[in-house]
Amino acid sequence: MIKKALTLLLLTLAASTGWAQNSYIPYKTFDGEHKNEISGYVMGGNNVVTDKFGGLEVSYTRHLTPRWHVGGDAQMQFGKELFSVDVQGGYRLPIKWGNISFDGKIMYNFYHKFGFHEMSYNISATWESAYVDFRLGETLVHYHSHVWGMGWGYTETPLLTFGFGVNIRHRDNPWNMGLFFRNYDDFYYENWNINWGIRWYAKVKERWNLFGEFNIRPAGSMSQLASKYEGSVKLGLKYKW
């Protein structure tokens, strides 16, 4: 009964805002004043395969112009023994109901625990409005074992990348929180495994923002048998100048 009620609430929220805008990237969006952003977060969680894990992440974004930005991210996750770096860039097109951003990202993951190297190439378009965000894109993922004698690995068929988020306050508000549904996170892209959760941010000083996420990542979503796979929290700080 509780499961049904919660599902009903989430579906209702999603459906009632479904005509709206873009994906949640509040700490990457140009505010019209600051050209540099640096942020970092600590994370911790539990994964069915790797058990408890924790990690550190750092990001840097440079707004070259009010429209163009480039940046990079890196993380280390202990427990999972996952090491990641990425570079990304994008173009923001202001429209009447918010922004449409076109982004590209190249990401490398090393799953040391399993001996797998993974490269991901993503392009996506994000529609971001005052309360809602929506992202659609394509991702190409290639992975191979660290034992090169085993062959050149496997390139997955292009994955549809999608995300949807809704906030309770206007995006310019000093604090905000909301819900998200998506098949990716900062350092992975999935096929039809949809993770969902709660996100928030709050301005603590003129140049400082706190942000965080609670992320539920089930397995088997589109097999209609979503099962406990991973839960994690992130807590971060962003500085802009």
Partner 1 sequence: MKAKYIFIAALAAVAMLNTSCEKVSPQGVLMGNTGVEDRVKMSELYFKEYLMSSTNNIYVRPKENNDYSYSFLVGADSHLTTDPGRMDEMFALGLENDDLLYCHLGDIADTKPEYYIVLDSLIKKAKERYVNKYYELNDLNRWREKIDPYDMIGSAYDDIKFPFYPVVGNHDLTHNGWALWSNIFHSSFYEFDVNCGYDENGVPICDHFIFLDTASGTLGKRQVELIEEGLLDGENNYRHTFVFGHTNIFLPSSMEFASTFPREQTYFLLKQFDKWNATIVFCGHVHKWDEQLFNAVYFLTLDSMSERNSPKPGDYLVRINVDKDGFIDLEKVHMNYVAPKK
| Residues lying near partner 1 in the complex (CB under 8 A) | 3-4, 6-8, 10-12, 15-16, 18, 47-51, 80, 111, 114-116, 118, 143, 145, 147, 150-151, 153-154, 156-160, 188, 190-194, 196, 217-230
* Minimum distance of partner 1 from residue 139's CB (angstroms): 10
* Minimum distance of partner 1 from residue 216's CB (angstroms): 9
* Minimum distance of partner 1 from residue 7's CB (angstroms): 5
* Minimum distance of partner 1 from residue 6's CB (angstroms): 8
In terms of C-beta density within 10 A (0-12 exposed, 13-18 middle, 19 or more buried), how is residue 76 classed? middle
Which residue lies nearer to partner 1 by CB, 157 or 241?
Answer: 157
Q: How far, CA to CA in Å, does 131 sit from each of 77, 116, 171?
A: 32, 39, 6
Which residue lies nearer to partner 1 by CB, 10 or 93?
Answer: 10
CA 153 from centroid of its chain's CA atoms: 26
* Minimum distance of partner 1 from residue 214's CB (angstroms): 15
Residues 6+ apart with CB under 8 A from 223: none
Which residue lies nearer to partner 1 by CB, 37 or 230?
Answer: 230
Which residue lies nearer to partner 1 by CB, 160 or 235?
Answer: 160
Which residue lies nearer to partner 1 by CB, 42 or 185?
Answer: 185
* Minimum distance of partner 1 from residue 73's CB (angstroms): 17
Q: For residue 61, give the nearest of 92, 30, 82 by alpha carbon.
A: 30
Which residue lies nearer to partner 1 by CB, 207 or 228?
Answer: 228
* Minimum distance of partner 1 from residue 59's CB (angstroms): 21
How far apart CA 65 and CA 4 sit, in angstroms, is 47
Which residue lies nearer to partner 1 by CB, 1 or 172?
Answer: 1
